[in-house]
Copies of this chain bind each other. A is one copy, B any other.
Amino acid sequence: MASGSPAPTRQDRRRERTRARLLGAARTLFARQGVEETRINEITEEADVGFGSFYNHFDSKEAIVEAVLADSLGAQGAALERATRELEDPAEVVSVAHRHFVRLARTDPDWAWLLVRLEVSHNVMVAALGPHAQRDLERGISDGRFAVPNARVAFFATGGALLFVMRAVLDGDAPASAERDHAEGVLRMLGLTAADAAEVARRPMPRIRVAA
């Protein structure tokens, strides 16, 4: 919160609680029955709030889908940050992040579908994971571990590569080795030699705990 902003009023807190309940209900329903099959009135019933109050928080179903996704991507980003804080090699940090998300396409396909099939994917990924990804990339560049023609292009190219590989995993169209193979490709793109990329992508994965 910006310093000098007033303390939240009781009304602010109630508003925040309603929003959190709507998000929780939407997350539950999307996982249970899919986004397409979920209607706004089901979300408000599950959240036990009036139908009209949905629109005090979100313009449309699309808007709450985007918010659910942004929240969970934020939690994934924070978990990755904690898990990789002690790693000294910036290449390993990037490798772990990409492997984690490819793995999620296998271990949590409902969530992964939410990410890959929506028109909002690009915006949400850039907003929620962008700062993490960009910082990891810049760290590798300033350490001399990465060398890319343009950091901005590398940022988008590696993000898009990740999304398509996740989609291929969801479609059952990717090999069992996709996680490692994809990380190798990303590391090569960032300037590692093929041999270095192969070695880094094979290091053991740290434990990644996502806050509920």
**Residues of chain A whose beta carbon lies under 8 Å from any beta carbon of chain B:** 116-119, 122, 147-150, 152-154, 156-165, 167-168, 173-175, 177-178, 180-182, 184-186, 188-189, 191, 193-194, 198
Residues on the B chain within 8 Å of A184, using CB: 149
Q: Known: A149-B184, A175-B150, A177-B149. Contact between A122 and B157, CB under 8 A?
A: no
Q: How far is the CA of A119 from the CA of B147 in the complex (A)?
A: 33
Q: How far is the CA of A154 from the CA of B189 in the complex (A)?
A: 12
Distance of A109 Cα from B175 Cα, bound (Å): 34
- Known contacts being A117-B119, A157-B185, A182-B157, is A152 close to B174, with CB within 8 Å? yes
Is the pair B185, A154 in contact by a Cβ cutoff of 8 Å?
yes
